[in-house]
Amino acid sequence: MHEIEPYYNWLNDYNPAEDVRSPFFGKEYNYDLYSETIYGYYIDPAWDCMGSETLYIKILFADYDNGYAVIELIGEWNDTLHNDIMHLKRNIIEHLLSQGISKFILMGESVFNFHGSGDEYYEEWFEDVEDTEQFDMPGWIAAVNFPDFVQQELVNYNIDNYINMGGTLDIGNWRTMRPKQFCNYVNDLIRKRLN
């Protein structure tokens, strides 16, 4: 697990440690020290803790003018034991919402499991973004490239009522795009779904 790194190729476009509006502004990284673990397995030092023992994140890109944030995740999304959605919502999402972000792209290739509980935080997050209409379109939440079995578990807990996932949101070539191009691409896909 320590060999899985957050996507680095957009660092010249966006670095959350250098963004004064980021919840991770000013964070210093020691890339020689592996200290964070998920179930006893060390993870790359570039991942950021959001308060969960099992799910870590990296904000890959934030565009405040257009309201986008791309957040990569690693680990086990465990609402049952660790209430990970509460940590994500309270510690990261609410901060980004207060900065004008209303379109959230969650990159889930490294989410290994999902254990659901209730859907209250998802519903609250959905209502938050739906109420922040920008550019003639309400905000949205998209889950991109989550493994099929994780998507199925999300569906089993009705999370798909709040988060767009599957189908055209399985985007294998996303790393070939620049961040704004990728955000616009996902926005176009969501717009087609809503129409």
pLDDT in tens, 81-113: 999 999 999 999 999 999 999 999 999 999 999
Q: Is the dihedral of CA 183, 11, 98, 155 positive or negative?
A: positive
Spatial distance between the Cα atoms of 145 and 151, rounded to a whole number of angstroms: 9
Measured CA to CA, the distance from residue 64 to residue 97 in angstroms comes to: 10
- Residue 100, judged by CB atoms within 10 A of its CB (0-12, 13-18, 19+), counts as middle
- Mean pLDDT confidence for 72-84: 96
For residue 55, the model assigns a pLDDT of 97
Identity at 54, one-letter amino acid code? T
Q: What is the pLDDT of residue 78?
A: 96
Q: What is the pLDDT of residue 136?
A: 60
Segment 143-154 mean pLDDT: 97
- SS3 for 19? coil
Structural domains present in the chain: 48-194 (3.30.750.24)
Question: Residue 37 and residue 44: Cα distance in Å, rounded?
Answer: 9
Residues paired with residue 17 on neighbouring β-strands, in sequence order:
none
pLDDT at 134: 58
Residue 135 has pLDDT above 70, yes or no: no
C-alpha 161/C-alpha 158 separation (Å) is 6
- Burial zone of 69 (CB within 10 Å; 0-12 exposed, 13-18 middle, 19+ buried): buried
Average per-residue pLDDT for the chain: 94
